[in-house]
Structure 1
Amino acid sequence: MKIAVPLEGGNVCAHFGHAPQFMLVTADQGTVVKKEMLDNPGHEPGRLPKWLGDMGIEAIITGGMGERAVNLFRAQGIQVYMGVTGPADLAVEALLRGKLAGGASLCSHGSGHEHPGECGPGGSGCGH
């Protein structure tokens, strides 16, 4: 299984597309066998779902993301777990044990507004 987690300082980022980095985890039979960190290639509509889908990602763990991104991931058969906070490694472990309880997105989107700094330096989530 391949899992992607938007990352900020070791924690699951509140807004998927604005994360500075992504942690990509490969697991086999519930055990992490590979972990890598990749810089976010940029936040523009449809880019991240294609980028991660092309890498064979099967699950996304995130604080939140827009409905369009969720739909793009699900169209590729990628499971999306939203509403997750805290250390990324613990979230991955919970998913692998079948104990990750996702929830509602931590960030709701209106049309056309931005979320400055929410996952960048000093950011702490989606602060509308």
Structure 2
Amino acid sequence: MKIAIPVANELLCMHFGHCEQFAMLDVNEETKQIKGKEMITPPPHEPGLLPVWIKDQGVDLVLAGGMGKKAQELLAERGIKVVVGAPSGTPEEIALAYLNKELVTGQNACDH
């Protein structure tokens, strides 16, 4: 499985569409291990562009702090699962918490 996490200053970026980079993590769901990590700079922010770009990266799941409803819908239409309300942390901490069913989510940090 491939997980995408929006990142700024090496930590989860609370606003999906305005992150500096995405941490692309290849994970093994069965062993709950991170097999690889790649930091990728997304294209400039334009409404509707990131869901297409993320699909092109082979992503299965996006873990985010906040994301607008339209972006969530566009990702879902492409078969990508979305979890919002993730707390601040490193991409590895967030992904491992998710894999171990320990990720405590709060409110969506985005209100549009």
Q: TM-score, normalised by structure 2?
A: 0.90
Tell me the matched-pair count. Answer: 109
1:2-21 matches, cutoff 5 A: 2-21=2-21
Deviation at 1:58, TM superposition (A): 0.7
Amino acid at match of 1:65: M
Q: Which runs of 5+ in 2 are unaligned?
A: none
> Displacement of 1:105 after TM fit?
1.1
| Alignment of structure 1 residues 90-105 onto 2, 5 Å | 90-105=93-108
In 1, distance between residues paired with 2:66 and 2:105? 10
Give the Cα–Cα distance (whole angstroms) in 1 for the partners of residues 19 and 65 of structure 2. Answer: 10
What is the CA RMSD across the aligned residues, in angstroms?
1.2
Report if the CA contact (8 A) 2:65-2:88 is conserved. Answer: no
Distance in 2 (CA, whole Å) between partners of 1:78 and 1:95 is 15
Q: Supply the distance in 1 between the matched residues of 2:52 and 2:23 (Cα, whole angstroms).
A: 16
What letter is aligned with 2:61?
A: A
Query: Counterpart amino acid of 1:102?
Result: T
Relative to the length of structure 1, the TM-score reads 0.80
Change (3 A) 1:70 1:47: same
Are the aligned partners of 1:4 and 1:57 in contact in 2 as well (CA < 8 Å)? yes
Determine if contact 1:6/1:22 at 8 Å carries over to the other structure.
yes
Q: Deviations over 1:15-67 (max 9, x none)?
A: 00100111000012321111000112111111110011112111101110111
Structure 1 vs Structure 2: percent identity of aligned residues? 38
Q: Does 1:60 align with 2:59?
A: no
